[in-house]
A and B are shown apart, each in its own frame.
Chain A
Amino acid sequence: MRMIYIIFKEFKQNIRDFKANIMMVLFPIVLIVILGTAFSGVFSNDIKLNDIHVLYAVQKDSELADGFQSFRKTLQEQMEITFTQTTNIEEGLNSIKNAQYSCFVLLTDDPQEIRVYKNARFSFEANLVESSLKIFAARYDALKLIAQTNPSALTGIMASPEEDHIQSESLDKKREPSSLDYYAVTMLTLFLLYASLTGFWSVKNEQNFKTGNRILCSPVTKIELLAGKTLGGLLVTLIQTAAVLLFSSVVFKVYWGTNLLSVVLVILSEAVLAVSLGTGIAYLIRNDGTGAACLNILIPIIAFFGGGYVPLSSLQGPLAAITALSPLKWTNEAIFRLIYNQDYQTMLPAILINLAIAAAFLMISAYLSKKEAV
């Protein structure tokens, strides 16, 4: 019960902090509009098929290769997709890494199979080609089976190619984020990181104004104080987040997916991380200015490597590898996959990463607060 008093006290103080609310609510909304408008071209989902460039390589001539060549010609003629052949597989793989082609198709010899290498930057174009190839592969496998089991039927089937003997999957265009959709997620998660300043100043103000010691003169324990302050900061952060989420959804028509609860859980875990990070830094660094500066440097770095400013697919080489160290990368990826792929695989790791870091900082805070002199 004593902790509830601290939670509500924190809530009142933070909700009355006009500057902080402007930063946590208005800034992300404004940035969603600015970035979403400025980069709308980059996120255009209207793909022109003649813009799709596919590099392919055939390791050895075979029936599969013949069939693929025939299918390729059809795609080239009917859909105006550009195919370029190469004999150098290494070169093909590098061209995908460097985003020179939409995808690289490799027909291997042993085993005989079709491999598609994609770059996330052209995910939609590559998915389109991959789906087409899946249809081709399914038709090829079926014809091969018929040739083996009932060769006489094959003549009839081949004579009437228009007849649909194969149940093929449709080329359903997956929903992709618009620039507003993209920046609504990334700006929300970016500004959530700034909730660490809420946690930071909450601890620092209590130290500076000696109110923390006064609280500890009452029957409140140091752990109750820490927990109350963290939960109070979290409550305010969640309300600010809800405001941004609601506003973006209603006014900008941002798509937040069909399972909002899962998205909110990931966001909640990031909020816990942010507030705990702030309290941890407050106990670790005694000087107010240094502590705040440390957070103000750390947050943009975490945000950059988490795709907060530019899509991660645009990062190459070592920079791309570093992104794995940013908790925001896992958070953003989990949210995008939840919204656009209904993919829950990255949700739990993202939540666990956020909560593990939060737990580490809370333990540091608890340890240092116990040692702290009055």
Chain B
Amino acid sequence: MNILVMENVTKKFGDVIAVDNMNVSIAEGEIFGLLGPNGAGKSTAINMIIGLLSIDKGTISILNKDTKRNKTFSKKNTGIVPQDIAIYEDLTALENVKFFAGLYGLRGAELNKAAAEALEFTGLSDKANSYPKSFSGGMKRRLNIACAIAHKPKLMIMDEPTVGIDPQSRNHILQSVKILNQMGCTMIYTSHYMEEVEEICSKIAIMDHGKVIALGSKEELKALLTDANVVWITISDAISKADENKIREIPGVLQMDIEENTIKISTAKEVHNLDKIIGYFTENKFSIKSVESRTPDLETVFLSLTGRSLRD
């Protein structure tokens, strides 16, 4: 079942098309990464999903219900961890969580329990009655998350939740994302840190100039960039012409370049022949100093598709 479906969604600000004919569907249980350089249209798309911006054209459905006609339903089933920390410094951590959860309709004992669980989940139980002005940046980020999860939304949107925090808090947040997902929460995750997206996202959309220019799993996106895997093998001695020809005969080997003691071998992606290549070197008594298999990472894919680095 799809939690979120965006069909032909368009948003204009004057003459500028911020989101252009966006089509995305997110299945239940996915962690969906939304990537794009600044000004790509990510925030506009998110603001339309959460109902902060109106949609000019197209439809957005959450749990099969149109968000325009079912605003309250859509909002109740959605949680947002905004990029900017949006908490009250003059309310305690517990009061913050209870206030935001209360806006989603939680009351009485249910509210108290949900707030306590949210603080427990984010590791802030012992700070429940402290004011956020005494918190570190990481703790504030965690409280920012606690305020979004207390009402147990089906769809959670996390907009750069790890910006400017220490590694310990970042790990805590990434673990929290995974656990929330395992608990049944579908996630939309945006980040400038590509390694985070690679680590946690099961499906990724890359946006640029308001359009989704690539959509798929990590592997599918990487496949867009190349049809071959490349292996660099460094050996102690030089390789003879005869050995070179023998290696070229291994099934799947497309190309071979030799530079001093390093051999660059390109192989067909669908053929798994690394064991045969390594086997040839060991059987013929070559001393292997290193083996490196390089597949394009998301950063390379992103750079290649948008022409810009993610942090631009």
Contacts and interface: CB of A to CB of B under 8 A. Distances in A.
Interface of A: 1-2, 5-6, 9, 12-13, 16-17, 209-211, 213-220, 374
Given A210-B86, A214-B82, A219-B71, A13 B91 contact: yes
Given A5-B103, A216-B51, A219-B75, 6 more contacts: A13-B91, A17-B90, A209-B86, A209-B88, A217-B78, A217-B80
A214 B100 contact: yes
B279 to A, nearest CB: 58
A374 B49 CA distance: 13
B291 interface: no
A219 to B, nearest CB: 4
B76 A9 contact: no
A216 B52 contact: yes
Contacts of A13: 88, 90-91
24 contacts: A5-B102, A5-B103, A13-B88, A13-B91, A209-B86, A209-B87, A209-B88, A209-B89, A210-B86, A213-B82, A214-B100, A217-B51, A217-B75, A217-B80, A218-B103, A219-B71, A219-B72, A219-B75, A219-B76, A219-B103, A220-B103, A374-B47, A374-B52, A374-B53
Interface in B37-93: 47, 50-53, 71-72, 75-76, 78, 80, 82, 84-91
B156 to A, nearest CB: 12
Contacts of A220: 103
Interface of B: 47, 50-53, 71-72, 75-76, 78, 80, 82, 84-91, 95, 99-100, 102-105, 107, 147
Nearest to A9: B99
B50 A219 contact: no
A209 B90 CA distance: 12
Given A216-B52, A217-B75, A374-B53, A5 B86 contact: no
B82 A210 contact: yes
Contacts of B95: 12
A221 to B, nearest CB: 9
Contacts of A6: 103
B103 A2 contact: yes
Contacts of B100: 214-215, 218
Most B CB contacts (10 A, CB to CB) among A1, A211, A217 go to A217
A214 B90 contact: no
A195 B8 CA distance: 48
Given A214-B82, A217-B75, A9 B88 contact: yes
A9 B89 CA distance: 12
A12 B80 CA distance: 24
Contacts of A218: 75, 100, 103-104
A5 B86 CA distance: 17
B78 to A, nearest CB: 7
A11 to B, nearest CB: 11
Nearest to A3: B103
Contacts of B87: 209, 211
Contacts of B91: 9, 12-13
Given A5-B99, A5-B103, A218-B100, A213 B88 contact: no
Contacts of B76: 219
A216 B71 CA distance: 11
B47 A214 contact: no
Most B CB contacts (10 A, CB to CB) among A9, A209, A216, A374 go to A9
Given A13-B90, A13-B91, A17-B90, A214 B80 contact: yes
Contacts of A214: 80, 82, 86, 100, 147
Given A9-B91, A374-B52, A374-B53, A210 B84 contact: yes
Most A CB contacts (10 A, CB to CB) among B87, B99, B105 go to B99
A129 to B, nearest CB: 59
Contacts of B72: 219
A305 B241 CA distance: 103
A244 to B, nearest CB: 23
B102 A217 contact: no
A374 B159 CA distance: 15
Nearest to B131: A16
A269 to B, nearest CB: 29
Contacts of B102: 2, 5
A274 to B, nearest CB: 22
Contacts of B84: 209-210
B90 A16 contact: yes
Nearest to B13: A373
A214 to B, nearest CB: 4
B104 to A, nearest CB: 5
Contacts of A216: 51-52
A374 B103 CA distance: 19
Nearest to B144: A214
B137 to A, nearest CB: 15
Given A12-B95, A210-B84, A374-B47, A215 B103 contact: yes
A211 to B, nearest CB: 5
Nearest to B51: A217
A314 B75 CA distance: 59
Contacts of A219: 71-72, 75-76, 103-105
Nearest to A5: B102
B50 A211 contact: no
B103 A213 contact: no
Contacts of B90: 12-13, 16-17
A236 to B, nearest CB: 13
Contacts of B85: 210
A230 to B, nearest CB: 17
A369 to B, nearest CB: 13
Contacts of A1: 107
